[in-house]
Structure 1
Amino acid sequence: MRSHKSDQSDGRSRPASRQSLRVLVLLFAMVVGMLPWAGAAQAHGTIINPASRAYQCWKTWGNQHTNPAMQQQDPMCYRAFQANPDTMWNWMSALRDGLAGQYQPRTPDGQLCSNALTRNNTLNQPGAWKATTVSRSFTVNMYDQASHGADFFRVYVTKQGFNPATQSVGWGNLDLITTTGRYAPAQNISFNVSTSGRTGNHVMFVIWKASHMDQTYMWCSDINIV
């Protein structure tokens, strides 16, 4: 009899248990749905004008990255999305910690545009990246979602004669044109640069040393100087 009562009790509890489990699963799904996007845990920023390579691909193709027209209209972004969509979804997170100012020694030639991050390696590839048309003097705009401020920005531009369609960016291809001072925490930071003596297609390379810790970002933006 004792065993029979136990069976009856188990039979009654199973539907209730299943119902409780469904409720817990639903609650868990709701909580997960309310959490910030996983990339936001490291969300910071990038150069939005002239747009960095990952940002340009995300801005242009983020809502239609499966559009077959992309392969012909923007082959470099197409390759980047095919290789690793996270490069574009996490356009704000091209960071490395603890470089201690050793930017050149710890960033090999040919890996500058990815900030030496393997997951972003497609950004290093030479090719027909979409370029922003600028004058010889123009304003650089950086968006920092987390408002960390900057110890400084260093802005480089490729030497006259460099061909972004066939050459990957190395330190020897660059001239330092601007080093800024500090910037207080803000989501939007702008500063002016001059590319004296250059015309045509170039790569602008920017190093951002964030103020909140030893955290360094590096990006390439394609420009057409007119």
Structure 2
Amino acid sequence: MHVLRDTHSPRWTLRALAMLSAAIMFLIPWAGDAKAHGSIVDPASRNYGCWDRWGHDHLNPAMAQQDPMCWQAWQDNPNAMWNWNGLYRNNVGGDHRGQVPDGQLCSGGRTEGGRYNSLDAVGPWKTTDVGDDFTVHLYDQASHGADYFQVYVTKQGFDPATEALGWGDLELVEQTGSYAPAQNISIDVSTSGRSGHHVVYTIWQASHMDQVYYLCSDVNFG
């Protein structure tokens, strides 16, 4: 028997809107979390860089040769890129080394159910050219502010293309104080004695709650 629906009733209207919203979220997977948080955009964090370079063309098989580390990341979980600004852990209590084991630093200790595990992969990640003195730029769409930032750089002799990143491979080069809520925050960093491919590891302790972002950016010291 065919049942006529009253398409003007509030219940039917709400149901239709819910179905439409679900369809939009399926077609545009970055429409959820991607507006909520932030990341280091220069030098680009690994997943932000992959989104920036390939988000418009992420199914292109040429990526496998041109940008193999991004290719493996897109194949592992595209949502690591669509949600490029959602790589955080809650309720860390300042125990960064206890919460994030060696070999899992770039995924924030396999946070968010393992969404970002591909960022721990060892290999020739694309780099941003920097000098001894450079600036780390955070884009925080939600304007969380910061209790502090800790910026580390890998020690000379560590090779991100062949070695998994551990805490012992890092040197703290900048410890900041607090920052008021803003969408754009810049942190000046000074280093010396480095050349070649390194990882800049930024810990951002957000101010709105105990929420910590763990962000790997690959750089090349000229």
TM over 0.5: yes
Matched AA of 1:38: G
Matched AA of 2:187: F
The Cα offsets for residues 48-75 of structure 1, whole Å up to 9 and x where unpaired, read as 0000000000000011000111110000
| Displacement of 1:170 | 0.1
What is the distance in 1 between the residues matched to 2:203 and 2:69?
Answer: 22
Identify which of 20, 33, 37 aligns with 1:39.
33
Question: Does structure 1 residue 72 correspond to structure 2 residue 58?
Answer: no
Matched AA of 2:206: A
Matched AA of 1:196: S
Map residues 1-226 of structure 1 onto 2, 5 A cutoff: 14=2, 16-17=4-5, 24=13, 26-30=16-20, 37-40=31-34, 43-116=36-109, 117=111, 118-226=114-222
What is the distance in 2 between the residues matched to 1:163 and 1:188?
Answer: 31
Runs of 4+ in structure 1 deviating by more than 2 angstroms, as ranges, are: 14-21, 23-38
What is the distance in 2 between the residues matched to 1:50 and 1:144?
Answer: 15
| Displacement of 1:143 | 0.2
Do the aligned residues in 1 keep the contact of 2:34 with 2:84 (CA within 8 Å)? Answer: no
| Displacement of 1:20 | 6.2
The Cα offsets for residues 167-217 of structure 1, whole Å up to 9 and x where unpaired, read as 111001000000011100000000100121111110000100000111100
Matched AA of 2:32: A
| Displacement of 1:122 | 0.9
Matched AA of 1:45: G
| Displacement of 1:16 | 3.1
What is the distance in 1 between the residues matched to 2:21 and 2:45?
Answer: 34
Q: Percent identity?
A: 53
> For residues 193 and 79 of structure 1, do their structure 2 counterparts lie closer, same or farther at Cα, with a shift above 3 Å needed?
same
Larger Rg: 1
What is the distance in 2 between the residues matched to 1:104 and 1:61?
Answer: 32
What is the distance in 2 between the residues matched to 1:210 and 1:39?
Answer: 16
What is the distance in 2 between the residues matched to 1:193 and 1:201?
Answer: 17
Please give the TM-score of this superposition, normalised by the length of structure 2: 0.89
Please give the TM-score of this superposition, normalised by the length of structure 1: 0.87
> For residues 34 and 66 of structure 1, do their structure 2 counterparts lie closer, same or farther at Cα, with a shift above 3 Å needed?
closer
| Displacement of 1:15 | 5.2
> For residues 77 and 34 of structure 1, do their structure 2 counterparts lie closer, same or farther at Cα, with a shift above 3 Å needed?
closer
Q: CA RMSD in A?
A: 2.2
What is the distance in 2 between the residues matched to 1:74 and 1:80?
Answer: 10
What is the distance in 2 between the residues matched to 1:202 and 1:212?
Answer: 31
